[in-house]
Every structure is written in C-alpha cells, then in structure tokens.
A and B are shown apart, each in its own frame.
Chain A
Amino acid sequence: MSTLTIRRLSAIALSELAGDAPQESFSFTDDHRASLVARFRATPTTEHRKLDAWTVESSGAASSAFRWSPTNARRSLGTPALRLVTSGRARHVTEAVTLCVEDHVVRAASGRARPGSLSYWLTNLSDVQRAVVIADTVTWATGLLDVMEPVTYDWTMAETDAYYDVATARVSLRGRRDLCITTELTQRVILRFRGGSPTRSAGMGLRADLVMDGLSRPDGQTAQRFIGVWPDAGLILSIDGNVENARAGARSLVRTAMMRGHLAQHIAA
C-alpha cells in the first residue's frame, strides 16, 4: 500500500520506524528504467528539466534562479560538519561548522572553486556575513543531532544526494537524502530533514525522493523506508519502499516533467 505514516517526532518514534521497516524493497529493473525514459521522452519540452521533490510538491512551478543564501547553504555545510562531529574529528557542532567554512574558503583561495560554488560564495562574504551562515548552520545541524543521537540504531550522514540523468529525455533528477539508518534486519532507511511544516503534497515529495534514490543506484533498489523529518513542526512522515510508492513517485515525476514542459512552452510562446 502507498500509505503515508504520520508520527510525532521523537527518538522512540524514529527508532520504531527504522526497526519495523519492511525487509524487502522494490528494485528498478532495466525494463522499468526504459519505460520511465519513454514516458519522460513523451513529455513536451523546449529545455533541460531539473526535477526534485520540491518541484514535484509545487506541481512543476518554475523556481527562480538559484542563489546561495544562509538558508540554502546550511544543509551543504551542516552535513559534512555532522560527519566531523560523529566521527570525533570536531569537539562540537560550532567547531565543525567553522572548520567546514574555513575549508571552503581555503579551497577557493587556492583556485579550486568554480564561480557560483559554495566555496566561491563563502569566500566573498564578510566576517559578519560568514558568522550568520555559521549561526544558521549550527542551528540546523544541532537540531538534527538532537533528534538523531538517542536513536537506537547506527546512522551515518549521506555522502551525496541521489542524481539520475535521463539524457535522451532532457531530464535530470535530484533526490535529497540527509542520513541513512542501518539496522540488523533492514539495509537502508533514509531520512530527509525539512524546514517548516509538511504541506499536503509532502507525501508526493517523499515518494519522488524514494524513486530518485532507487534510480541512482546501479542495482535500482529503493530504500526499505523513506522518512521525512520536520523538526520545526515536530512531525515525521514515512513511506515504505514498495512497488505502490515507487509507482506513485515515478508517476508524479513524469507528471511534473510534463507540467514543466507545458510551462516552458507557454513562456516561449
């Protein structure tokens, strides 16, 4: 069933959701991938489309050009910072975030950052602006750590987001994932942390993330469970990695691609 489970946020609830995740999960076969490519190719387009859970939740609405800000930098900085904290390479979150910011600045100073990158942006900020970025990231990362530390299973921060490019259909997919819980019985339970409170279409976004995570893997296997955590609202939404959710997620991605295509054509006309 494509059921969406809603729980109040607590370490017990997270541990239970990880512990009783189904042992089996859906896998995308070559046939599934070919069928998805065919559906994407059938959608009208005049441009390359970049889709993620947000575009699915907002029904394909065009987003404004990306610009770095303290809010969207906190996840990119907070994830490696938490890796430093959980591996004992930093004493506390503030130190870890500061180290990550310094690392970016050094990278840019040594000419290893491209214009538009996070490193480039951070380098061009004043000390005060950088302190704002650090404060925002520390708040985000500490909130995440506060939720995760009491969870009874092993968890690790995700190394990267999930990317899948459907080149012949001019579609790129980006599935966000923040951390992975592993238990004795299940292999992968993926968590995503979100700001604000879940919207009515949050379930669709989770299913899209589940699909993109599965497609990005060579074996095509989806996570056993995909959990969205909204710390501001104290809520958890979760879906299982079954065929119904995978189908619903794939369908919503194709629908969003179609809407984006129509929108681009409308603007071009």
Chain B
Amino acid sequence: MSSATMTAEPRITDILRGNRDNRPAANRAAAGHYRQLIEGALENLTTRVSTLGPLVIRAHHLDPVPFVHIGPAFPLAQLRGALISELLRLLSTGQSVRRPFEDAREAWAFSHPHSPLHRTLEECDADDLARVATDVTAHAVTLIKALGPVNPHWQPRTDVSVVQHLRGGDIVVRDRLDLVLGSSREAVASEALFDVTTSPLSSRSDAVLRYHALMETLRTGVVPLRVVALSTATGDRVQYEVDDALLARAVSELQTAIITEWNRP
C-alpha cells in the first residue's frame, strides 16, 4: 500500500488523474473475492440483539469510538461539511462560485429540502449565521484553490450513492462518494475517488478512504485507481493507490464495524 501525505502544491485534479502511462491493468477479479471474505466473516453471527429492520452501516461506523453527537457546535460542523460537499458539486460542473456561502446554502437547500439540518440553520441567530458564513467561505477558498479545473472529459460524477446488501439483506452497507472521475470500463485502472472533509485529516479519514475504495470495488466489480482526500480545515491532502493490501484492510475494518454494530443493544 503506497501513500504520500503532501504539503500543498499539486492540484487535486492532477493528483486524481496522475500519470496516465503508469496505470495498472484494471483488476476485475478482486471484487468477488472481497465479497466472499466479508460474507464469510458474517456467517457465524448470532441472532441480532436489535431486530428493527436490517442493520445499516455507513462510513462513520468505522470510527472505533462510538459516534456520539456531543456539543452545540456539532450540527454546525455537520452543516459546514454538507455545504462544502455541495460546493464541490457546483465546481465539478464548471459553475463559477462567487459567493461561496450563499451559493452553497442555496444549492444545499435546493437538493436537500427535507434535511434535519434546515432546523439548525433556522435556529442560528445573526452572530451564528455570520460565523458559519465566514467558516464556510474559508473552507471554500481552500477547496477552490486546491481542486483545480475539472475537465468534463474525465466524466465527473458527484454525490455518487453506493449500496450493498450482505447476509441475504440483513445488513445494508451504504456509502456516498463526493466526486468520482474516470471510468471503470477502461483496460487500465482509471477510476479516482475524491473525498472532501472539513475536519483535519486523521487515521479515521484514512479508514474512510479505504471504505470508499472497497465500496466502489464491490459496486462496479473493478478496483479503482486511487483515492484522495482533502481537508479544507488544514489544506492537507492524502492519497492512496488502491491495491490488495488497502482493500484487505478495508475488508477487515468493515467486518469489525459490522460485528460491533450487530452486537450493539
């Protein structure tokens, strides 16, 4: 598993595309193997403690610390993340963003009319709103500076949904990919996945990147080329070439997350 944490210079789109001459052959055989590995570990699960429908697993379940919503700032941080993801969608279509907060807010409200975060926004007083607007603008500036132009020939897809049913439908594993470039139908590995986070990069963001790579492998049946994350909090980026070691680790992390959640009362 090769990786590199970089300080600033190269644009995200350049990292995602990389050198086209150095791409490995598309791996179309691994997906079945990894699916078997995941299913194999789930065979011996005992009867589930909670019986309220299928167990749904998302990227946040990979966190070894239970996911708890603590503190008044949490919904605002969530909102900031949602708005920055929405800005990425606008940028990927070539839309020029002149008023980052207002544009992101308008786009998000339009595409997520029923989100519970609307309440968070409504509850903001003038000071809160000004703080969120400044915060989102600062993150947006980092994103715009780091991203680079998205060539439409690279087939950009945003907010891509992935859903996999395991153990005969008892377990539903879901994911959303912020940006996918390239195609899974090429003879060489060509799909690059990009994740934008408004938190600093950590071991958790690495696990999320591995999760994205595994989920896309299971969905398309083809191993993606690389995964890249950008923290708009710090400007740091991390990239991983997707290989067997990365996917094997992703499988192990997913198995652990499933078993933990399965046994949670």
Write the A125-168 contact mask toward B (1 if CB under 8 angstroms, else 0).
11111011011101100110110011000000000000000000
Residues of A contacting B61 in the complex (Cβ-Cβ under 8 angstroms): none
The reply to whether B157 and A138 form a contact with Cβ atoms under 8 Å apart is: yes
A202 at the interface (CB under 8 A from B): no
155-176 of chain B: CB within 8 A of chain A: 155-165, 172
Beyond A94-B93, A150-B185, A234-B218, whether A131 also contacts B107 by CB under 8 A is yes
Q: Once the chains bind, are B219 and A232 in contact (CB under 8 Å)?
A: yes
Kindly state whether residue B92 has any CB partner on chain A within 8 Å. Answer: yes
**Which stretch, A4-12, A24-32, A54-62, A248-256, touches the partner chain B?**
A4-12
Q: Note all chain A residues with C-beta closer than 8 A to B94.
A: 94
B225 to chain A, nearest CB (A): 14
Tell whether, in the assembled complex, residue A8 and residue B221 are in contact, meaning their CB atoms are under 8 Å apart.
yes
The prevalent SS among residues of B at the interface is mixed
Query: By the criterion CB–CB under 8 Å, are A128 and B103 in contact?
Result: yes
Over the window 78-121 of chain A, the binary record of Cβ atoms lying under 8 Å from chain B Cβ atoms (1 yes, 0 no) is 00000000000001111100000000000000000000000000
Count A/B pairs, Cβ under 8 Å.
93
Interface size on B, residues (CB 8 A): 35
Q: How far is the CA of A69 from the CA of B113 in the complex (A)?
A: 10
Please, which residue of chain A has its CB at the minimum distance from the CB of B169?
A200
Q: A131 near B95 (CB under 8 angstroms)?
A: yes
A70 at the B interface (CB under 8 A): yes
CA of A179 to CA of B137 in the docked complex: distance in angstroms? 43
Q: Are B93 and A134 in contact (CB under 8 A)?
A: yes
Could you give, for residues 80-94 of chain B, a 1 whenever the CB lies within 8 Å of some chain A CB and a 0 otherwise? 000000100110111
Given contacts A95-B152, A131-B90, A146 and B184 within 8 Å (CB-CB): yes
Choose from A11, A139, A142 the contact partner of B159 (Cβ within 8 Å): A139
Decide yes or no whether A218 CB sits under 8 A from chain B: no
Within 127-179 of B, Cβ neighbours of A (below 8 Å) are at: 152-153, 155-165, 172
- Determine if B14 is an interface residue (Cβ-Cβ < 8 Å): no
> How far, in angstroms, from A231 to B183 measured CA to CA in the complex?
14
Contact B93 A70 (CB under 8 A): no
Cβ-defined contact, B93 with A233, below 8 A: no
Contacts of B162 in A (CB 8 A): 232
Closest to B105 in A: A128
Residues of chain A whose beta carbon lies under 8 Å from any beta carbon of chain B = 8-11, 69-70, 91-95, 125-129, 131-132, 134-136, 138-139, 142-143, 145-146, 149-150, 195-197, 231-234
Q: Can you name 7 A-B pairs with beta carbons within 8 Å?
A: A131-B93, A135-B93, A135-B159, A138-B157, A146-B184, A233-B163, A234-B220
Q: Which 9 A-B pairs have the closest CB atoms?
A: A94-B152, A131-B95, A139-B157, A234-B219, A135-B89, A92-B152, A232-B161, A197-B163, A128-B106
